[in-house]
Amino acid sequence: MQPPQNYLWALKNMSNRGVVYAVTQSDVYLEAALMSALALRSLEPSLPITIVADHPQLTTLALERHQITPLFLGELPLSSAFASRWLKTNLNRVSPYTETLFLDADILPLQPVTPLWDYLADRDWAMAADRLPTVEMCDHVAVEEKTYTLMRSPPNTLQFNSGVLLWRDNPATQTLFEQWYAEWQVFQQQDQLALVRALQTTGLPVATLPKTYNISPLDATPLLQAGETVHLLHCWGGQVASGEFRRLMAQYYPEVMVDLGQLRGVSVMQNRP
């Protein structure tokens, strides 16, 4: 992948810390990333936020009024349902930050995220465990890839959820990204077991984030009802396509829906329910 034309500009304006969203091809996921970024901006007024996408609509949005930076990638070398995984395993090549918090487009932020950077105090990589936290429990990948992974990793090996990822850019994490991409290319489908194999190969230590930084709405409900703090809701499992993510966003952040409607040229949202 060649860096986008404005990538050198991004490097010259590199900030130490920031948040990156990465979206490929999908109208509804671009909209989800916009909503998530606008919600995060209300919680983090000064934290740099960048949306990376190959969707041409990104170039028409007036994101500067919200201090959100668009980074248009142009055409990606892979055009398939798994192009987003291609981009995720190359995030280090497009992030303009030295310390990056990547958030999936279907993340609904409920609390500020700056405390997360404390987890990089003695580690260069931080993630939360998956809802099904071991390789033997993984049920969202092809049998062939799971079998392949179990040939190299013990069944109780920890599986991280890649929807929230915090890392520091340095040679060690660059090597991990390269290995992650190489492992992902074996099957070119899901990315989490590829990461398990890459972590095993590189031996990079991982700081494990609390589950409240990457938790499904279903699992978060009893915590919220008990008055506990939930930081990042991960609305995976078709909640973006079904409109449930949009409904939750309107419930928690009605002002975001107003901001969304005011963005210029946002045809991706004009026909949404």
Tens digit of each residue's pLDDT (9 = 90 or more) over 204-247: 999 999 999 999 999 999 999 999 999 999 999 999 999 999 99
pTM confidence score: 0.90
**Token code pair at residue 136:** 């033997």
Kind plus residue range of the DSSP H or E element containing 148: helix 143-150
Measured between alpha carbons, how far is residue 165 from residues 24, 28, 134, 204 in Å? 18, 22, 18, 14
Across the chain, which distance is largest between two alpha carbons, in Å? 52
- Domain spans, the chain: 7-258
**CB contact set of 140 (below 8 Å; sequence gap of 6+):** 190, 192
**How much is the pLDDT for 6?**
43
Instruction: Walk along the chain (273 residues) and give the pLDDT tens digit of each residue.
Output: 444 444 433 443 456 999 999 999 789 999 999 999 999 999 999 999 999 999 999 999 999 999 999 999 987 777 666 788 899 999 999 999 999 999 999 999 999 999 999 999 999 999 999 999 999 999 888 899 999 999 999 999 999 999 999 999 999 999 999 999 999 999 988 899 999 999 999 999 999 999 999 999 999 999 999 999 999 999 999 999 999 999 999 999 999 999 998 885 544 444 444
Query: Taking a C-beta distance cutoff of 8 angstroms, is the pair 25, 55 a contact?
Result: yes
Measured between alpha carbons, how far is residue 94 from residues 3, 68, 129, 133, 225 in Å? 7, 15, 25, 28, 39
The DSSP-derived string for 251-269 is HH-HHHHHHHHHSTT-HHH
Q: Which fold has domain 7-258?
A: Spore Coat Polysaccharide Biosynthesis Protein SpsA; Chain A (3.90.550)
**How much is the pLDDT for 132?**
94
Alpha carbon distance 236, 234 (integer Å):
6
**How much is the pLDDT for 80?**
66
Alpha carbon distance 230, 164 (integer Å):
14
Residue whose tokens read 């999936």: 104
**Token code pair at residue 223:** 């915590």
Alpha carbon distance 155, 248 (integer Å):
36
